[in-house]
Amino acid sequence: MASFPPRVNEKEIGKLLLNLVDHTEVVRDLTFAPDGSLILVSASRDKTLRVWDLKDDGNMMKVLRGHQNWVYSCAFSPDSSMLCSVGASKAVFLWNMDKYTMIRKLEGHHHDVVACDFSPDGALLATASYDTRVYIWDPHNGDILMEFGHLFPPPTPIFAGGANDRWVRSVSFSHDGLHVASLADDKMVRFWRIDEDYPVQVAPLSNGLCCAFSTDGSVLAAGTHDGSVYFWATPRQVPSLQHLCRMSIRRVMPTQEVQELPIPSKLLEFLSYRI
């Protein structure tokens, strides 16, 4: 088997390099560790996540088990130390990627959770669910910090588990750390601010399925069930110096360490994203 990454010349472009064979069901999502280590995680309907080392000819390093049903999506934290995985049966799991152990299971959604994304500083986690909600969590202690509802009034837990026209299909954090985009079955794409409980901008989009911000955050790409990709200009705002400082601190300091700082309570709340 060829080593990875290989030395590629023009004649080899398009050549199959690796074939990772071990899942027993559909593979729903893939994510690379952001630290450049060439660690790949795959999420599957076989209820597992598998960790592959592409530097070692695609050797499978670990199988992460815990989901009782299909795994829909997974995402690394920016420092690659943590992995979030979501799936059927309201499951949101956080994994320690140094020890390959489960950190905690986040409870709160009332239906399948289909997408997840970390904020650029790793201090926040966004999850999207068929229960018509996007939750913003503190992944370090499991608290829900913000709820973005796509149906008003929001359905009770009993009815949130059923079919409706507000299933949220995708969520993505902007690289400015201030905005979140979501797609729902009500034919809308919404842009939210992390400190507001209503969308700052809404645009029509039918059959939305997945979305991602461009690197500079100026464009949102949205893929649809019918095979199209649409591009949207996103809300632009110059982050305050205060927010930039918060992101710098939170990139290196988890919530528990922040709460131990000898600083005023209001500053602690700000650094903990308590709105």
- Give pLDDT, residue 133: 96
Per-residue pLDDT, 3: 53
Closest CA to 140 of 72, 84, 67: 84
Note the pLDDT of residue 91: 87
CA distance 91 to 82: 16
Q: What whole-number distance in Å separates Cα of residue 19 and Cα of residue 1?
A: 9
The sign of the CA dihedral 114, 195, 201, 123 is negative
In a domain, 202, yes or no: yes
Asked if residue 3 belongs to a domain, the reply is: no
User: What DSSP element (H or E) covers 251?
Assistant: none
Domain count, the chain: 1
pLDDT value of position 6? 58
Q: What is the CATH number of the domain that holds 100?
A: 2.130.10.10
- Residue 246 included in any domain: no
What was the pLDDT predicted at 2?
A: 46
Domain membership flag for residue 2:
no
Query: Tens place of pLDDT for every residue, the chain, 275 residues?
Result: 445 565 656 667 778 888 998 899 999 999 999 999 999 999 999 999 999 999 998 999 999 999 999 999 999 999 999 999 999 989 899 999 999 999 999 999 999 999 999 999 999 999 999 999 999 999 999 999 999 999 988 888 877 777 788 899 999 999 999 999 999 999 999 999 999 989 999 999 999 999 999 998 999 999 999 999 999 999 888 889 999 999 999 999 999 999 999 999 999 999 999 87
Position 104 in a domain: yes
| pLDDT the model gives residue 14 | 79
Q: What letters, b where the CB count within 10 A reaches 16 and e where it falls short, cover 202-211?
A: eeebeebbbb
Comparing C-alpha atoms, which of 168, 183, 251 is closest to residue 213?
Answer: 183
Nearest CA to 176 out of 123, 245, 231, 119 is that of 119
Q: CA 54 to CA 211: how far, in whole Å?
A: 26
Q: Cβ distance 149 to 132 under 8 Å?
A: yes
Question: How many whole angstroms separate alpha carbon 80 and alpha carbon 190?
Answer: 28
Q: Does residue 262 belong to any structural domain of this protein?
A: no
Domain extent at residue 45: 25-151+162-236
Question: What is the rounded CA–CA span in Å between residue 275 and residue 75?
Answer: 24
What is d(CA 75, CA 32) in angstroms, rounded to the nearest whole number?
8
Question: Would 172 be classed as within a structural domain?
Answer: yes
- Token digits for 177? 């750390």
Would you call 55 helix, strand, or coil by DSSP?
helix
Residue 253 lies in a domain: no
Look at residues 255, 264, 263 and name the one whose alpha carbon lies nearest to residue 145. 255
Alpha carbons 261 and 275: distance in angstroms, whole number: 19
